[in-house]
Structure 1
């Protein structure tokens, strides 16, 4: 059976962007601005610069990487070994996500959310959309669960292909940031409407409680008016 699909309309993405530009999302914008400033100030791929970038994106976006020094060395090795077009291919994120275990041993853990955010903010935001649980749930909601199969943690290549499919269906072009913001915002909104105690971003929780008029447009069929 093919799972149902909820169409995405450009007006929803534009409404989410309007919210992002408003006073309701000041902390979110400052966070993104800080990452952009760091990218401009430290464009090189060397151990010190990469470590600072890893620590910053891990702290500001909560990507749950604990071995930050090992992660930074791995990311620098991957980027220094990447050639030409690979630097704008989804396989690059998959390689960065495979942070090796410590010398004492253990399994390689995949940190796709971390790697996608590093690539998005410090390599090319249009090449690398952000992979996280909210984006995954929203892609499945819009494209049908079959779009990303049954794997709860699909590869970044599968995620990126689904993201591009949704962008194409909605006529959004190649600017990933607007769709990224919509997926993250409304993915959390859906969780919040189902469970007001859900673990979501605190600034977005305040936004949802304020219920600005743009939220109804952005949420579309998932909008729940405040009582």
Structure 2
């Protein structure tokens, strides 16, 4: 297989992202809380599922409004989960009330079914995977976007010769995606002092990016070294 990437991805970047993630106390607390919920409520009866749906939606901001009907829907899907492929399971959880809630569904499966089998699907992860793979080699899926995303994750790991876990890769995709957006905003602001647009970003993450100490600056430079972009 051709191993070149549109934008290189090194193991050192994955390691940096995970070190930086350790500085984010809020996200460490959230992940620990979800792990505790998973341990104490391992099943998918209505009560357990409702707690999990509420937790993911509130703590990860997945913008799900009908949490009780969604919990009932997830309970029904999970009752036949043994008959479904992993990506099909996420697609079925996501298909609710005429919409595809893929960010919610992937996070629910990631935290409460299996972290390695279900990579987190969101805009940052999707965009960073596409950024590294480029347009010529990545899979594009319209009917099964989560399957296409998982295929692209595996292709990225193979082409970059990465041996990291999906959890480690997820932290890189999220932080690098945020940092890439933050850098673009900073440059736009510097070029136009009348720019009034406010970048909406988690305050803890923004504080990390604004920490210009020598150690932190060096870590961020390793996290996303291919900037500026054309």
Q: TM-score range by the shorter chain?
A: 0.7 to 0.9
Asked if structure 1 preserves the Cα contact closer than 8 Å seen for 2:90 and 2:109, the reply is: yes
Shift of 1:170: 2.2
TM-score normalised by L of structure 1? 0.86
Q: Secondary structure at the match of 2:121?
A: coil
Shift of residue 223, structure 1, vs aligned partner? 7.5
1:220 correspondence with 2:221 = no
Find the aligned partners of 1:184 and 1:32 in 2 and give their Cα distance: 14
Match of 2:178 in 1: 188
Distance in 2 separating the partners of 1:53 and 1:173:
30
Match of 1:96 in 2: 93
Q: Is the 8 A contact 1:148 1:154 kept in 2?
A: no
- Deviating more after overlay: 41-50 vs 168-177: 168-177
Distance 1:145 1:116 in 2: 23
Q: Distance in 2 between matches of 1:97 and 1:155?
A: 11
- Deviation of the 1:42 alpha carbon: 0.3
**Change beyond 3 A, Cα 1:90–1:174:** farther
Deviation at 1:150, TM superposition (A): 8.8
| Unpaired segments ≥5 residues, structure 1 | 102-107
- Which residue pairs with 2:165 in the alignment? 175
The separation in 1 between residues aligned to 2:9 and 2:154, in whole angstroms, is 13
- Return 5+ residue gaps in structure 2 as ranges: 187-197
Aligned to 2:81: 82
- Cα offset, 1:90, TM superposition: 1.2
What's the offset of the Cα at 1:143? 0.3
**TM-score w.r.t. length of structure 2:** 0.85
More deviation in 112-121 or 207-216? 207-216
- C-alpha change, 1:61 and 1:47, in structure 2 (3 Å) is same
- State yes or no: 1:165 paired with 2:155: yes
Q: Distance in 2 between matches of 1:182 and 1:204?
A: 13
Aligned to 2:190: none
